[in-house]
Structure 1
Amino acid sequence: FDPLGLSDPEGPGGFIEPRWLAYGEVINGRYAMLGAVGAIAPEILGKLGLIPPETALPWFKTGVIPPAGTYNYWADPYTLFVFEMALMGFAEHRRFQDWANPGSMGKQYFLGLEKGLGGSGDPAYPGGPFFNPLGFGKDEKSMKDLKLKEVKNGRLAMLAIVGYFIQALVT
């Protein structure tokens, strides 16, 4: 599915590599699956009385950065935002390096965790004890089936997020 013609799997017609688009679909699907659950969790937990009412907000009201000092964190919200951007930037940089040179991130020294980061050679599915602690997909057939399920669930989660956006606009 490429309505804008950004890639050309048959030759050099497009300017985005199809492998990069497939990789992006897997990564964005994972974020969408986390976001779909995370968007409704505060409301559900608030209705069950498991979290304070002031934090049991609809998802579209939680993204506003509150004035400094509203919540009791170790720093003000702007410092937390910059800290989060630095950590996410580091993780995304390493992820891109692994896409450009598959398997390279498992070989570099990283706080003594290299053994757990050693992966499958496919950057979208890093494998290793940290990313697959239960050992799913032991053979090729089951791994292929799990990959297909992940892509389908990711697509469904992306549509769920669109539904959340529409609901926020309508209500």
Structure 2
Amino acid sequence: MRMVELGAGVETGNEPWDPMGFSQMYKVNSLGINPHPQWLQESEIKHGRTAMLAFVGTLVIHAGIHIPGLDYTTDWYNSFPEFAAKNPLGLAQVMAGLTIWEGHYGTEAGLMWTGEGTRNPGELGFDPLNLMKGKSEADVNTMKLKEIKNGRLAMIAMAGFASEHFIPGSVPLLSGQGF
């Protein structure tokens, strides 16, 4: 699948939607300060995956579901600082895991800034549940599109939670819900 096809869909007439030509900005100058679309897609997928995890975590915390024996707040915004304060070794474990993960995949992401990456954006070779095994290319592309759309929705949802937290009443459906 070509990289540019990820932005195409029935919503855009099966053509990539880029009315202002932002995907071509990396060609504007020779200083290398504008990222290649390959890096932008990698970034969007990474942020979408993070937002999807954050959304589920926010709902779980808000519902009052916790690890047995560990009592934390149901306020999603303060739950991680409380966890870090009560469990410094747990925080160190999270940070070590993220460091190893980013160290392993970070070099390739750096090459994507200039469009020299050797893998497709978001494809990390990690599929422990074998969700892609035996799928046709069309099915894989459909799943990738679903992931991007769900990631975008999760980023919007987390922005809504943050807005409601910092400006109470700014999101009418969340008003008074404790988000």
TM-score norm. by structure 1 comes to 0.65
Runs of 5+ consecutive residues of structure 2 not aligned to the other structure: 1-17, 169-177
* Aligned Cα root-mean-square deviation (Å): 3.4
1:152 paired residue number:
149
Give the distance between the partners of 2:46 and 2:104, measured in 1 at CA. Answer: 14
Aligned partners of 1:137, 1:27: CA distance in 2, in Å? 25
Output the CA distance in 2 between the equivalents of 1:56 and 1:127.
36
1:100-139 alignment runs, 5 A limit: 100=111, 121-127=119-125, 129-130=127-128, 133-135=130-132, 138-139=135-136
Question: What is residue 85 of structure 1 aligned with on the other side?
Answer: 95
Q: 1:87 to 1:163 in 2, by over 3 A?
A: same
Aligned equivalent of 1:110: none
Counterparts of 1:24-103 in structure 2, within 5 Å, are: 24-46=43-65, 54-65=71-82, 70=86, 77-99=87-109, 100=111
CA contact (8 A) 1:45 1:51 kept: no
Distance 1:63 1:26 in 2: 23
CA distance in 1, matches of 2:104, 2:81: 29
Q: Which one-letter code corresponds to 1:34 in the other structure?
A: L
Tell me which of 22, 25, 29 is aligned to 1:8: 25
Residues 66, 141 of structure 1: alpha-carbon distance in 2 compared, 3 angstrom cutoff: closer
Q: Deviations over 1:35-91 (max 9, x none)?
A: 001011022244xx98679325120121224696x5xxxxxx334333322221110
Choose between structure 1 and 2 for higher RCO, CA contacts under 8 A separated by at least 6 residues.
2
Output the CA distance in 1 between the equivalents of 2:23 and 2:121. Answer: 22
- The percent of aligned pairs where both chains have the same amino acid is 25
CA distance in 1, matches of 2:156, 2:104: 28
The C-alpha deviation readout for 1:105-128, integer Å capped at 9, x for no partner, is xxxxxxxxxxxxxxxx42512346
Aligned mates of 1:81, 1:28 — CA distance in 2? 21
Whether the 8 Å CA contact 1:32–1:161 is kept in 2: the answer is: yes
1:137: how far off?
7.0
